Structure formats: structure tokens, C-alpha cells
Chains A and B, each alone.
Chain A
């Protein structure tokens, strides 16, 4: 074997793989565009696609950012017209991804005028580092997280160690994603089937949420939020608030059966969240109590209210955030 030729061909092979694994570039949200099967792509691709869509358009009036708990909310649920609203929610993402997403939009001058952030209920908050965007922007984010104690932020040593570990883990996942056969197959087969077009032009998923019977109420576990980094992230949000954009954070609701007995950790973190919001003069709204009347509006599980259920409440928030604040 000729070793230099092998190494060169191997590197080129990996480069080709990276190219094949990179997110699609089309604008899937133009009216009439075929998005058949876009949901089979990794969620990080969806983030990239939505980001590109924002870059191609003038800033939206209202943008909704969040996870699967807000992904299905569309213009019809909020009483808005198409063109003024876009749903930037990415299933599985946490507040960390949302904040970075907002910063990137801000840098590009595309931050919506009203930014609604669906913060996963503290009870379910995952608080993971984002796999989106691609390196080196992702590495920049990691470096910033690790250098933040040097900038005078009050970061707990345990949180710092945990965050460093998470960034390493995040990079490991990113590397594995490059060699993910199932992901590659999904990318190559993506968007071929118009029958599987479940995305709306406003970025929301069409009614794909199905009620699980009986409704799943997961056992409450301590969320793994790193409190001192949560404060740091809220400060990042605050920096974006006010320069032509209004930011409203709301805690996504959970089914009453699931939220009756919060754990001490959960209560403490929720208290910290709202105290920090108050200190920073950020508009933060606690989760509303939405019951289940057994009729059409329903819960898929204890953390995912149907959009037709959450939508009217959120429409009120858009009109008058202060009225809903607790």
C-alpha cells in the first residue's frame, strides 16, 4: 500500500462524508415548497434550515423559539396572519440552543421584533449544549462557556466542571454524527415524498401530535440544569432585549397531575429563574395551569399540550405579556 495516497484518499473520503452530512440548503418554507419528509432529518438540520430561512427574509414580527413543546404552534392557533409569524422551535433543544440561535439571528440583523421563548418547564428542562450550529461556531460557544468565569460571572465550580464535560460529550456526539449511517441514509432520502409534508410555511408542524392513551405522566426527576449557567444564559438573553426586539420568556405548562409535588431542586431552580428575570427586568411568565377537559383539546403527554389548547393562552401573552405574568 502507498501510505501517503491512502491517507490523502481517506481524508478526502471523510471530507466527502462531511459534505453529505451537512444540512440541506434549500428554502423549504417558501409557500408551495415541497418539504416531503423533512422531519426524518436530524433536528440540528431543521435548526439550520430554519436559520437559513430567517436569513433569506426580512425580520419576522413574531418568532417563537423552543422545543417540541412549542413546535406545533402555528399562525392559526395564535390568530395571526402568515408572514408576520415564524416558529423557530426545534424538537429536543434546550434554552442553551435557543439563546445561541437568537444571538446568531441578532448578529445577522434578523432578530424578530417580538421573541417568544418557550422555556421547557423546569420539571423537564434538559439544558443541553446545542449540536447546532456546525463547528467552528459551536467550538466558539464552548470556549465562551469555559472562559465565562474569567469575565467575572459567578459560576459554581461544580457547574463549570459539568459544563466542560458536557462540551466534550457534545463534540463526541458531533463526531459520531459524521459517521452515522442512519443519518446519512435519511439525508440522502430526505424530502422526496410530498405525502410526508408535515411542516407548514410558518415553521410549525401540522397536527402530528397524537394523544397517548393512557396519557403518560413520567416520574418526576431532578432536572439537570446548571443554575449558575442558567443565570449567565438569561443575561445573554437580556443583552438582546430592547434593541428593537422585545423578548418574552414563558415556562411551558405541564399537566396538573404531573406538577403537583415539585422536588426541592425544581422549586429552587424555578425560584432562581424568576428572581433572575426580575433582577434583569426580563419578561418571564410562569407556566399556566391548563387542565384536561377530555374534549378536543388534549395533552399528548404530561409535557406536551395540544397547540389548540396552548395557542389561545399564548395569543393573550402576545397581546399583553404583563397581564399573564405571575
Chain B
């Protein structure tokens, strides 16, 4: 199930909210949320829900005992469970095809055992949360083990289960402990709705509309004119942002209904003046996870260049089991290192130029997400006018949509709009009416909405 599905909006969520806030269920709210979270997840396949349950159980059992979890071996075995599941589902085919002699593949050989393995949605997200929990137990950051119910709720909580934010247990600990007594204020409900409406609108009205315009262009990267290529380059950049940002806003809004303050995952990343700051603003919870659990243990800034390459390659691999994702990670490592070496000059450029250059290079990087290696090169050829392109972006509406996306992206910080205190009753009313208008229009387009890009990670 996904957030932009009518079944979720009109059936799943209303039923859950009614049951959750119904008086007699106050003391079974944790099992209720867990049951609905697994139901939410099981819509993608029962097998996937079983994998999730087994991974949680494995980590819970092994991390329960201090003597086990505080030894290096104990930690390794605890992490091995979910990591092996991730490897099997996400990387097995990729690893084998790279390890085994290419001759085998070229002669038509396949790894039939792995051919039909379906990737459980969001496995990379919940695996990282489980690993974070095990490491926190190992380090003593979480001195006492948490109960099975609490751990299951922390990992499986449906708003963040499939595409983050990647939450640490400490960030939701208090929400879980006071769940049975949680009563949202009118302000909480209002803000939850605001996050939901803006998140859905970002996904349905902006990301999906851009997708509809760019789809025919993406299908033929070698036949694009320069304007068509430019359109694909920037529209995909905005699309992936509003797709993932929209998801994160919805997750935050849903979390607030149940008293969870999920962390922000974006902070206007395309307004970052350089690639280094971009990574502090894009998918923030993943960046911090990698910093805390990989970069710093590797020695942090002591081996800066090597570590940057390593963590960005890992970041790329986390996104997908293919060399192009690794290449995308290394591309960003090069950007960050290049910035570090040239920051003295870069930082003297006018601020707007810094933002524009950062946005352009980041957008170039996304082509590796969008196309295969070969198609990326072909697309870059079209972009640099080497191609004999015929398919252009000659529709005024598509450029208007791109402009709208750019204005919202660079000009509005939605979190500030939500948190803004409006003194006058007129401005409050006007804002509420505008928001309800956005909600109704979004609902009309929900039926045509596509799945979230980050679900495949």
C-alpha cells in the first residue's frame, strides 16, 4: 500500500484513526499500530511482512543480552541477520553476476534461483534502522534493551517503514512510551493535516505531473533535441525531489497524528551553495546515519579522501544494486572532494552562482538514476547537442510546470509555512481555504498518481 493510493486515504487511514482514538483501545494502541503497520506492509506481499518480522525478532533476541551484544562478534552476528536478508533480496543477483565469470552470463547462463526474487519495499530503510539499534546497544548508547513490542513498533511504524526518514530509537522513545495516553491538541491535528496535504500535493500535483510530461522524452534519450534534454535534466531533478520530499512530509504528518515527531529529511537541498552542504540537506537522516555508523568509525576526517569515496560508494550502493548507482555515489564523492579543494575560490563566487552551479551538477548526477549507463552517455550526448535529436520539449505547458516546480522548490520552505503563526483571523482563514482547495484538487488527481521513486530502495 502507498500513501497516494485511494485505498490508503479513504479506507486504511480513517479506520486506523477511528480505532486508535476510540476510548476502549487506549491500552492496546501499540499492538493496534503494529497490526496496521504489518497490514500496510503485507499489501506488497505476505512474504515481505514475514521477512520484516523475522529481521526484527532476530535483532531483538540477540541484542537483549548485554553480554552478547557488547562483544564484537555478538554485534556482527546480530547485524548479520537483517544484513543477509538485505543481501539476498537486493544484492544477490548483482554480486553473483559480478563474481562469476562473465563467460557464464555471455553464454546465456542465469542465476535462476535469484531471478524471481522480489525486493521487499523499503528493506534498505528498515535494515539500517535495525543496524543502528544494534550498534547503539553495542556502544551502550541504549544501555537497556527495549521490549519486543516497542522495538517492533519502532521498526515497523508504517509512516516511516517504506521510505524513511531513517529514525533512531531515541527520537521516538518518548512517543512510544506515552502512546496510550496520547491526545493530540487541535494544533497537532491541524499541523498533521497540513503536512499531509502539502506532502500529497508535492507528490501528486508536482512530481507526477512532471513525470507525465517527461515520460515520452525519457523513452528516447538518443533522439532528444537540446531543449528536450535540458527539460529531462531539470524536470527529473525536481521530480525526484518532490517525490521523496512529498513522501517525507506525509510521513511526518502521519507520525504526528500518533504523537511521533519524525525528523525532517530535507532542508531545501537545491538551494545549497555547494555539494557538501547539499548532503547536509538532502535525505538528512541517511547522511547522518552514514556519518555516525560508517564515516566516524572509519576514522572520519583523519582519512578524509578515502573515507569520502567509501561512504559515497556505499551510499550509491544503498540506493540500488547496480554499478550506475555506485558511479552516482562516486560522482558525488568527487564533487565533495573537488569542492573541499577549491572552496577558497568557490566560496568567493556570487551566492546565486554557487546555488546554480550546485543545482546543475547535482541534476547531472541524477541521470545515472534515470538511465542505464549506456543511456546516460547517450543522453549526455543529446544534451551537449551531439545527437541528431528530433524529440523536443516544445509544449508551453510542460515548461510552465517546470517553472512552477522551480518556484516552489527555491521560493517556498513548506515547513516554515506550516509552522508560521498568523495573527489575523483573515490570513488564517485565507490560508485554511487555500489549503482545503489544494487538498480537494490533489484528491482529484490521486487516482492517476504513480508510485514513489524511493520505494524501490
Contacts and interface: CB of A to CB of B under 8 A. Distances in A.
B344 interface: no
Contacts of B10: 175
Contact of A176 (B428, B437, B440, B447): B447
B447 A9 contact: no
A268 interface: no
A154 interface: no
B432 A13 contact: no
A176 B448 CA distance: 12
A319 interface: no
Given A2-B432, A6-B190, A181 B445 contact: yes
Given A6-B436, A10-B440, A179 B190 contact: no
A9 B444 contact: no
Nearest to B420: A1
Interface string B418-434: 00000001001101110
Contacts of A7: 436
Interface in A11-31: 12-14, 16-17
Interface in B387-435: 425, 428-429, 431-433, 435
A179 B446 CA distance: 8
Contacts, number: 64
B439 A1 contact: no
B302 interface: no
B439 A13 contact: yes
B207 to A, nearest CB: 16
A181 B209 CA distance: 13
Contacts of A2: 190, 425, 428-429, 431-432
A6 B434 CA distance: 9
Interface in A165-213: 175-176, 179-182, 184
B19 interface: no
Nearest to B448: A181
Interface centre among A17, A181, A182 (most CB of B within 10 A): A181
B443 interface: yes
Given A1-B428, A1-B435, A184 B444 contact: yes
A12 B439 CA distance: 12
Nearest to A9: B436
B45 interface: no
A9 B440 CA distance: 10
A174 to B, nearest CB: 12
Contact of B447 (A3, A5, A16, A179): A179
A181 B448 CA distance: 8
B444 A6 contact: no
B77 interface: no
Interface residues of B, number: 25
A179 B444 contact: yes
B445 A1 contact: no
Contacts of A181: 444-445, 447-448
Interface residues of A, number: 20
Given A179-B446, A179-B447, A1 B440 contact: no
A182 B448 contact: yes
A9 B448 CA distance: 24
B6 interface: yes
Contacts of B436: 6-7, 9-10, 12-13
B189 interface: yes
B432 A176 contact: no
Nearest to A13: B440
A6 B446 contact: no
B6 A6 contact: no
Contacts of B134: none
Nearest to A20: B444
Contacts of B189: 3
Contacts of A5: 428-429, 432-433
Nearest to A177: B447
A17 B444 contact: yes
A13 B194 CA distance: 17
Contacts of A179: 6, 443-444, 446-447
B348 interface: no
Given A9-B437, A10-B436, A13-B439, A3 B190 contact: yes
Contacts of A176: 6, 447
A121 B392 CA distance: 50
A13 B6 CA distance: 18
Interface in A225-262: none
B193 interface: yes
B186 interface: yes
Contacts of A184: 444
A9 to B, nearest CB: 4
Nearest to B427: A2
A12 B433 CA distance: 10
Contact of B440 (A3, A17, A175, A182): A17
A13 B428 CA distance: 18
Nearest to A180: B447
Contacts of B432: 1-3, 5-6, 9
Contact of B186 (A3, A14, A16, A175): A3
A3 B431 CA distance: 11
Nearest to A1: B190
A1 B191 CA distance: 8
Contacts of B425: 2
Contacts of A3: 186, 189-190, 193, 432
Nearest to A184: B444
Contacts of B186: 3
A166 to B, nearest CB: 17
A176 B6 CA distance: 8
Contacts of A6: 190, 193, 432-433, 435-436
Contacts of A180: 444, 447
Given A1-B431, A3-B189, A5-B433, A10 B439 contact: yes
A203 B390 CA distance: 46
B397 to A, nearest CB: 14
30 contacts: A1-B190, A1-B191, A1-B194, A1-B432, A1-B435, A3-B189, A3-B193, A5-B432, A6-B432, A6-B433, A6-B436, A7-B436, A9-B433, A9-B437, A10-B436, A10-B439, A10-B440, A12-B436, A13-B436, A13-B437, A13-B439, A13-B440, A17-B440, A17-B444, A176-B447, A179-B443, A180-B444, A181-B448, A182-B447, A184-B444
Given A1-B191, A180-B447, A181-B447, 8 more contacts: A1-B193, A3-B193, A9-B432, A10-B440, A12-B436, A179-B447, A181-B448, A184-B444
Closest 4 CB pairs of A and B: A13-B440, A9-B436, A5-B432, A10-B436
